[in-house]
Amino acid sequence: MDLSQRLNEDMKQAMKSQNKFKLSTIRMIRSAVKNVEIDLKRTLNDDEVLDILSREIKQRKDALQEFEKANRVDLADNVKAEIDILSEYLPAQLSEEEIKAIVQGTIQETGASSKSDMGKVMAALMPKVKGRADGKLVNAIVQQYLQ
């Protein structure tokens, strides 16, 4: 079952179980997917849906930081719950050790030796960890290795 079908099935299940919060979160992501499909005039594949999910989660993590700075616990709790629901659709996340191993391999592949090669390393690395690792964490690990 592809990701779009899974979202549809989970939406139906949330309707049946009357889980309004999960239903609204799934509807929101389906709406984002549908908007991109309309713009592109075609249906999206799983990788493209994953990109949208990752972008939505990133937006919510940024909002979460702002809500926590403003001491808005009520809004922060809602955003955390949305992140949890959306994260269910992402592939299993890589551990920090797995990311380090991939980074080391990519640095060797690209022949990078200094921070000036960071763009080259990130360009080769991000497709390998797409949807399975947070970009900020990957960036921080690459910076550790390229000093």
List, by residue range, all CATH 1.10.1510.10 domains of the chain. 3-87
List, by residue range, all CATH 1.10.10.410 domains of the chain. 96-145
pLDDT tens for the chain, 147 residues: list them: 688 899 999 999 999 999 999 999 999 999 999 999 999 999 988 888 888 998 999 899 999 999 999 999 999 999 999 999 998 988 888 888 888 899 888 888 888 888 888 888 888 888 888 878 888 888 888 888 887
Residue with the two structure tokens 């889980």: 19
Of residues 108, 61, 104, 109, the one with CA closest to residue 84: 61
Name the fold adopted by 96-145.
Arc Repressor Mutant, subunit A (1.10.10)
- Is pTM, for the whole model, over 0.75? yes
Name the fold adopted by 3-87.
Hypothetical Protein Yqey; Chain: A; domain1 (1.10.1510)
Is residue 41 a contact partner of residue 49, using CB atoms and an 8 Å limit? no
